[in-house]
Each structure stands twice: as C-alpha cells, then as structure tokens.
Amino acid sequence: MQKTKVTLIYWGLCLFIFLALIPWIFNPSLALHSIQVLAIYGGIVTAFLGGIIWGWEEESASSTNLWSAIGFSLLGLGVALISFINLSFSLILLALSLQVFLNFEKKNSSFFQVNIKYANARTLITNLVTICCITSLAFLYNPYT
C-alpha cells in the first residue's frame, strides 16, 4: 500500500509540473488558463488531503482532527474559487495551505510518522508543488510577458 501511495504522489506531481511549465513555453493566453488550472487542481488536492484525515486510524482521528479535515477541505474549495477572482492570491494561499497541511500531517498522522518513505515523498512533493506555485507567480509578475 505504501508503494502505491508514493507512486500516486509522484504521478500527481507530474500534472503540477506540466501546468507550471506551460506558461514559459506557450503563448500568454494559454499561460493564464494553465496557471488557473494549476490553482484549481491544487485546491482539489488540498480538499482531498483534508478528506484523507477521515480515514486515519482511530488514535489519529480525534474530533479536533476531523474538524481540521473539514477546514482543509473548505480551504481547498476557497483556493479553487479565488482563482477566478485573484489568481496570485490563490497561488499564495495554495502554497501556504499545502505547507500547513504537511506540518499538520507530520504532527498528527501515525502513518506519516511510521512510514519514512511516504513521509519523505510527501515532504518532497509538497515542496516541489510550492515551487510550481512560485514559478507560476513569477510568470504572472514577469515584466517581459
């Protein structure tokens, strides 16, 4: 099961990288759509991560953690919706929400604490997706585009 989770984590990263590279390769109108899709996809991933808390083992599934799960899911929805109003803020909120969830998972998930390969993959992927957000922000504020 751990191997499957790690593999799927890396496959999910591929879409983030692809969407972050499109603006630098193709025309500016496609670029903005790509960045917005990245933000929406990131919001979906954040909501999904919040939902996995409900599947944690009994000792990790406290009522506080379950309320946090709802909060992360709503945060993911917020990231996706804000991308239609303010794309830059949406990307910043996405990067922050993924980092906050990673820290939450480190402290509260027994699976994360026991499975070092999974923990390392989650940490790496979260940091790489954050870099994708920063790369997309750099494109938005690039004076040469």
pLDDT tens-digit series, residues 22-63: 999 988 789 999 999 999 999 999 999 998 888 877 766 678
Q: What is the pLDDT of residue 137?
A: 96
Q: What is the pLDDT of residue 73?
A: 95
Q: What is the pLDDT of residue 55?
A: 80
Domains of the chain: 2-140 (1.20.140)
Residues of the chain falling short of pLDDT 70 = 1-2, 59-61, 145
- 18, 19, 46, 118, 123 from 7: Cα distances, Å: 17, 19, 18, 10, 14
Contacts 24+ apart (CB under 8 A), 84-92: 84/36, 87/32, 87/35, 87/36, 87/39, 87/140, 88/137, 88/140, 88/141, 90/39, 90/43, 91/35, 91/38, 91/39, 91/42, 91/133, 91/136, 91/137, 91/140, 92/133, 92/137
